[in-house]
Structure 1
């Protein structure tokens, strides 16, 4: 068969180009560390790698979201810690203020300290995050959620919603708690709070201690409200109000100072001391702490105690009784408010722990995705280097053979 010079050169150049192309492809794989440099190298693997990369990007987005959620919850937990310490300090001062040996000046001093705690708590309730958003305003986070009027009363103007962030594909986590739920609420089943009402024109000086729980399993406990009405200075009646508004009144009973009265058929008790107004009109209300008509506002509880401590007693037993009763009520309300803050703080801690767990799961998922993508497109260097050496030998052989063939000529035989 006759082979023309043109054919010989075309085949030689084609072989050189093919060998050089394969040699350069392997070199590019080694330089990039990837087996699939272009989609054409392995279309199926390239397509699967794109899908895995998208999953990795989504996983990273959830990771960033958890960082933001953790920052918000950590800031809230820090503020709630300060609030719980403030309430504890206020309770300590109220115990001190209840000491009957204090003078009016001493009680004024305690009231001043309580005002400092009051202002501190108000500042904590209006705390902001690093971006200037208010932590406890719900979705109304562009303005202080708690505002104080000219009389010193505090009102909540935020909403009752909790801001949420999606920390994983199947988990939407609350990253804040509304100030209404923290500062204006108590835990469900918090018990009862007693308040005293005295005829301002009378001379009664009844004080109470309690109420104390005796048997919470009895029907009506936690739902019924009670009111002890003094008919005169030696008799009283108890009015029980059911949740539907139905009232039941007990027959009049004799009263003596220091007497313990059982309510709700033995569900709870309250101890009364002192002398009621001769003409009657004094009363003690015992309401569920989580009822709609009970005071659940921690700022109102503190303010009532501060206002009571500022009133000079001057040896007036009626004023002293009013002050003692107000302090007792405020202390019970602060106990319930502290329980509520601690419950919310525990919830925040649980969410922080959940973030740690989700982070661990996400980290394992991310490693799995990266391994899958590596198996699809990354390079086996041992195999690639062997292939590189082989292609190099092939290229050198093609070059040598082409040089030898193109040097063959009949003219060399003449």
Structure 2
């Protein structure tokens, strides 16, 4: 019995030693954490402000009838590209044709009355010499004047009737893309009604309206006054599509607001872009990168930063062989790097690789690296002996 107990205790003792040994063998070697780093320095970088914007049609018109009647024909397919004067709707015109015929008859009658009045007046002029003839001549000349005014009114009525008849064909006043019709054949419409029959929108070129805060514009002025920003000859305007990709056509600033909105505190600007492929449609929310000039700034690769829940950007800096988390402020981005205005200084050593295992105050061993244009981290090759000598 005693021998069995001793044997069991020996087995348990052996088992208790195995995990400790295993853990000891699997423990990572102690020492500094190896990280890739680079030394920060000032660079001349474009000073870019990214502003929110919204696309607005270059031209847009609502199509409404100028005369009343029933729609008898829709003359365009929805989405068609129209030129100025292209017909879109036709209103039943029998009544307007009859009105024009009546107006033409009135003109003919007025012309006949004028001819009669002129002949009568001419006859009395030939018989001048008596009081009776003078009175008759006055009456005849008054009849001529009345006949002339009657003819002028008849001509005006005929022209009005012709205009009404022309308006039974409703045409597009601008070039653009036609929207779907809001009425169908047989619908009764009235002259100058509130509801539009359709819309025509010109998409090329197109406007993008953007807004910049008044405080942001003041900061730009301060940087220029302090010599920190060198303005360019002209403002660079790069449109970013909803996908984040750049639009491959340059913009032109056509309107710069002259007042600050009392409700939003922003200044409105309007930029025009060519849009032959209709990639931009009215109502789209877009962004515009405005390049104002160049500034001296420190670039921090975006891969080396983390953003907290409240939006704060931070980086790991190496000081005296240990890492410390530091918050930074950025005014924009350039080539996959943040343009940093506060938090770091020239000469600081920034950790760009091996960030996952870091903790505040951890000891690190830095390996100088570079980041290529594709964002790939590469070790800096050591200089050859001959070169170093």
Shared fold by TM > 0.5?
no
The structure whose RCO (Cα within 8 Å, separation 6+) is larger is: 2
Shorter-normalised TM-score: what interval? under 0.3
Structure with higher Rg: it is 2
The normalised TM-score by structure 1 is 0.20
The structure richer in helix per residue is 1
Q: Which has the higher strand share?
A: 2
